[in-house]
């Protein structure tokens, strides 16, 4: 059991067993405050921004048919690009704020950026969680923060993926603003590093699908764990409290 796993704690509430249970067992429910308000706010801002970025990014990569009439009367792609750029700015600022909160927030705020790869017990629990997700384990372990599988997925798919998208996105944005723009000066080196502008476009577009695959998996796992696991996930990112729904030993 890792240090993040729940130790024996005083139950916050005790609920009588359902009628018909001859042994009148009780189910204890323990609440632990995990995610602070700035972290939760960042999460939902990022959800909104990535939704806008994926939708607008798809249409930028696969533009709509040419609109009839004068160009001055049809600015649909212009609005789409504006929404994409605006969401890109917001998600970048929010991500910088998230990095800052990793330093000043509680210990769970740092889990997104640091994998405890030097601990042998972490690999053992990672394997257990992999088996749990593959329906090869009957019960999961209890974790106050991210479990090892979730922590790994968030780092590889989200932290590294979003960083890649921010860098390549601002490189392309700087190309449009011009060589003397701040974006080109800060991120323009990425274009020759990756070959040429079209190569960056291609990788940036593929990165969008990389993020979409992560989102699909993330939603599935969150819903699955809320139903099958012994701890809350979705409600934790809303209110900050993680609920442990029974007192069975791990």
Is position 122 within any domain? yes
d(CA 18, CA 27): 10
d(CA 173, CA 182): 10
The mean pLDDT value for 78-93 works out to 96
Is position 1 within any domain? no
pLDDT band at 2 (very low <50, low <70, confident <90, very high): very low
Domain membership of residue 220 as a residue range: 38-65+72-243
Task: Tell whether the model's pLDDT for residue 199 goes beyond 90.
Answer: yes
The mean pLDDT value for 192-198 works out to 94
pLDDT of residue 14: 35
The mean pLDDT value for 231-246 works out to 86
Task: Tell whether the model's pLDDT for residue 7 goes beyond 70.
Answer: no
Q: Provide the domain count of the chain.
A: 1
Of 20-29, 74-83, 84-93, 100-109, the poorest mean pLDDT is in: 20-29
pLDDT of residue 226: 86
Taking the CB of residue 169, how many other CB atoms lie within 10 A of it? Answer: 26
Tens digit of pLDDT for each residue in 112-145? 999 999 999 999 999 999 999 999 988 888 888 8
Task: Tell whether the model's pLDDT for residue 245 goes beyond 80.
Answer: no
pTM: 0.83
Strands 13-16 and 26-33: antiparallel
Is position 113 within any domain? yes
The mean pLDDT value for 215-242 works out to 89
Is position 209 within any domain? yes
Count of residues making up the chain: 250
Is position 152 within any domain? yes
Name which of 145, 154, 134 is nearest 211 in CA terms.
154
CB 243 within 8 A of CB 233: no
pLDDT of residue 100: 97
pLDDT of residue 250: 55
Is position 91 within any domain? yes
Name which of 42, 31, 30 is nearest 105 in CA terms.
42
In the chain, the N- to C-terminal Cα span, in Å, equals 8
pLDDT of residue 125: 92
Give the mean pLDDT of the chain.
85
Q: What is the CATH classification number for the domain harbouring 183?
A: 1.20.950.20
Tens digit of pLDDT for each residue in 200-219? 999 999 999 999 999 999 99
Residues of the chain with pLDDT > 90: what percent?
62
Task: Tell whether the model's pLDDT for residue 198 goes beyond 60.
Answer: yes
Task: Tell whether the model's pLDDT for residue 5 goes beyond 50.
Answer: no
pLDDT of residue 240: 92
Is position 145 within any domain? yes
Is position 14 within any domain? no
């Amino acid at each position: 059991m890792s240090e993040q796993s729940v130790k024996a704690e005083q139950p916050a509430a005790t609920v009588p067993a359902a009628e018909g249970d001859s042994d009148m067992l009780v189910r204890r429910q323990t609440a632990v405050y995990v995610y602070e308000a700035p972290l939760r706010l960042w999460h939902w801002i990022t959800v909104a921004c990535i939704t806008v970025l994926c939708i607008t990014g798809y249409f930028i990569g696969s533009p709509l048919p040419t609109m009839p009439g004068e160009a001055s009367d049809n600015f649909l792609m212009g609005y789409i690009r504006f929404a994409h750029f605006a969401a890109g700015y917001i998600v970048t600022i929010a991500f910088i704020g998230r990095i800052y909160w990793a330093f000043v927030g509680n210990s769970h705020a740092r889990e997104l950026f640091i994998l405890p790869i030097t601990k042998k017990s972490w690999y053992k629990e990672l394997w257990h969680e992999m088996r749990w997700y593959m329906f090869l384990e009957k019960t999961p372990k209890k974790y106050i923060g991210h479990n090892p599988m979730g922590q790994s997925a968030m780092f590889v798919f989200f932290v590294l993926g979003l960083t890649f998208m921010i860098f390549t996105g601002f490189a392309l944005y700087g190309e449009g603003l011009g060589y003397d723009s701040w974006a080109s000066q800060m991120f323009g080196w990425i274009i020759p590093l990756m070959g040429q502008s079209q190569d960056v476009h291609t990788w940036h577009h593929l990165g969008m699908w990389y993020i979409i695959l992560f989102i699909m998996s993330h939603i599935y796992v969150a819903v699955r764990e809320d139903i099958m696991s012994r701890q809350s996930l979705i409600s934790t990112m809303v209110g900050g409290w993680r609920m442990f729904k029974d007192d069975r030993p791990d």
